[in-house]
A = this chain, B = another copy of it.
Amino acid sequence: MGERYLKSVRLLAECMQGFERFSGESVRQHGLTHAQFDIIATLGNTPGMSYKELGERTLITKGTLTGVIERLEQKGLVLRERSSEDKRSFFVRLTPAGDAVFCDVFPQVVAHGKQLFSAYSEAEFDALNGALRLLRERIAAGSQSLSSPTNKELP
């Protein structure tokens, strides 16, 4: 079938995979797994967040998250504090050491990325970011209509 958007999806996957080829090596060299770096990168440049929010952002389910955070805590990279508002909830944030790793690992990813994007013009940046921003919007809109079970597809 002429499912045209399949090409978009495949392109997206190929680009993401290509980028992971870059970043994966740097991440592993720092003794971090993909899931662990996912957490570090999500917490980086934020004041911290709850397990729930962290799980939603990283697509890591709560049962798994407990273990991943535990290992990062043992490495001294993250900190857990009970929320004062909701005593069921934890607030997770990077320690100074965790922030140092974030700042240390990311430039390495960035160094590859810089090389990758060095040939980009202003216009090409705008085109890429514009296209991705639109896609992200549509994905977000689609997620909403899917998560509510009563919502059927539109004509």
Complex contact B8–A154 (CB within 8 A): no
Residue of B nearest to A56 (CB): B21
Complex contact B133–A11 (CB within 8 A): yes
Alpha-carbon distance A50/B3, docked complex (angstroms): 28
Complex contact B138–A119 (CB within 8 A): yes
Complex contact B15–A13 (CB within 8 A): no
Q: Which of B21, B114, B134, B153 contacts A124 (CB 8 A)?
A: B134
- Using C-beta atoms within 8 Å of the partner chain, give the interface range for chain A: 35 or more
Residue of B nearest to A5 (CB): B117
Q: Mark A15-54, 1 if CB is under 8 A from B, else 0.
A: 1111111101000000000000000000000000000000
A135 partner residues in chain B, CB cutoff 8 A: 15, 128
A112 partner residues in chain B, CB cutoff 8 A: 142, 146
Complex contact B116–A139 (CB within 8 A): yes
A139 partner residues in chain B, CB cutoff 8 A: 15, 18-19, 21-22, 116
Q: List chain A positions with a Cβ less than 8 A from chain B.
A: 3-9, 11-22, 24, 59, 110, 112-120, 124-125, 127-136, 138-140, 142-143, 145-147, 153-154
